[in-house]
Amino acid sequence: MGIAIQYLFVMDEYDRREFLSLSLPSFLGVLTALPSLCAFATRANAAEGRLPEDGAMHWEAFLEAVSKEAGKQHLDAWNQDSYVQNISRLAGRLHLEDPVLLDALAQIQARLVNGKVDFKYLEQRVDFSLCLVQFDEGEIIRPHDHPGMTGMILCASGEIETSNYDLTEIPDVQVSEGHQLLKRVGTAVLKKNDISTLTAKARNIHTLKAHKVTQLVDIFTPPYDKERIEQSHWYSLSPDPVAGLANVFEAKAE
Ligand SMILES: [Fe+2]
């Protein structure tokens, strides 16, 4: 028992550092990725952003289409639900065998032996960020939120289970001191090309557990910045739901 718990604790602490601390320094990683991305811009433009065979989108065209959508967040009327649907549609057209993406996935795959969840930013802009996240089989990211942000997760390979939660208040339900109620609003097993989304107000808290070696493409809009990282929380959930409420759990924010 001790070893297993200790292992999970170490994993969690490592993930927390990766997630909360390494996001900003990875700006630097983007700089190294940019030249290769730019090299494909010409090719993308020449094909008007589409592969002739099946209408799939080149990487660069995909980025520009997402960027155009993400720019709408500055409008008063920005609708996050529509936004995540729109970029999900774009992600559904992304050519997963695009050389830029294949190269990035291969690079991150080389880090698999590290025994931790790997992150690699491919694009970091003012309006959105795009990163690859790689899990070994059985690895988890504990429940956490994304303050004021939307997220879209595209499964590029593997198989991963994800559950989403909303903070909730239920009259007449007593909550332990220092705890909140989380309502599980969805659970899905993502396989290649499957997508999961969250917005600032819906499904914002999620947890992930890889059934197989898995690679995800994550788009956060707006992206993490210092303030959002500081506002982020991990949650410890009670193992059992509240009596009589199958999808409601007591949780403590950390
Ligand atoms: Fe997340």
pLDDT for residue 117: 85
Query: Using 50, 70 and 90 to split pLDDT, how confident is the model at 49?
Result: low
pLDDT for residue 37: 45
The length of the chain is 254
Considering the entire predicted model, what is its pTM? 0.79
Q: How far is the CA of 52 from the centre of ligand 1 (A)?
A: 34
C-alpha distances (whole Å) from 88 to each of 2, 26, 130, 152 are: 42, 24, 13, 7
Q: How far is the CA of 45 from the centre of ligand 1 (A)?
A: 32
Burial 12-29 (b: 16+ CB within 10 A, else e): beebbebbbeebeebeeb
Query: Using 50, 70 and 90 to split pLDDT, how confident is the model at 55?
Result: confident
Q: Tell me, what CATH number does 86's domain have?
A: 2.60.120.10
Q: How far is the CA of 98 from the centre of ligand 1 (A)?
A: 25
Q: How far is the CA of 120 from the centre of ligand 1 (A)?
A: 14
Residue 6, pLDDT > 50, answer no
Q: The tokens 């557990």 sit on which residue?
A: 209
pLDDT for residue 7: 32
Tokens representing residue 184 in the block: 């599980």
pLDDT for residue 90: 95
Q: Tell me how many domains the chain contains.
A: 1
Q: What percent of the chain has pLDDT over 70?
A: 78
Query: Using 50, 70 and 90 to split pLDDT, how confident is the model at 181?
Result: very high
Which H or E element spans position 117? none
Q: How far is the CA of 47 from the centre of ligand 1 (A)?
A: 34
The rounded distance, in Å, linking the Cα atoms of 198 and 151 is: 5
pLDDT: is 33 or 243 the higher one?
Answer: 243
- Mean pLDDT score across all residues of the chain: 82
| Structural domain that includes position 12 | 2-253
Choose the weakest-confidence range: 28-42, 158-172, 184-198, 210-224. 28-42
Q: How far is the CA of 146 from the centre of ligand 1 (A)?
A: 7
Contacts of 98 (CB under 8 A, 6+ apart): 40, 58, 59
Q: How far is the CA of 33 from the centre of ligand 1 (A)?
A: 22
To the nearest 10°, the Cα dihedral for 2, 4, 9, 12? -170
Q: How far is the CA of 54 from the centre of ligand 1 (A)?
A: 31
- Average pLDDT in the 29-56 region? 48
Query: Using 50, 70 and 90 to split pLDDT, how confident is the model at 172?
Result: confident
Instruction: Give the full edge-to-edge strand order of the sheet including 195-198.
Output: 118-124, 129-135, 214-221, 150-157, 195-198
Q: How far is the CA of 218 from the centre of ligand 1 (A)?
A: 9
Q: How far is the CA of 206 from the centre of ligand 1 (A)?
A: 6
For residue 147, say if its preceding peptide bond is cis, omega within 30 degrees of 0: no
Tokens representing residue 39 in the block: 């090299």
Q: How far is the CA of 101 from the centre of ligand 1 (A)?
A: 21
Q: How far is the CA of 202 from the centre of ligand 1 (A)?
A: 13
> Measuring CA to CA, which residue among 101, 215, 207 is closest to residue 161?
207
Query: Using 50, 70 and 90 to split pLDDT, how confident is the model at 36?
Result: very low
The rounded distance, in Å, linking the Cα atoms of 146 and 150 is: 7
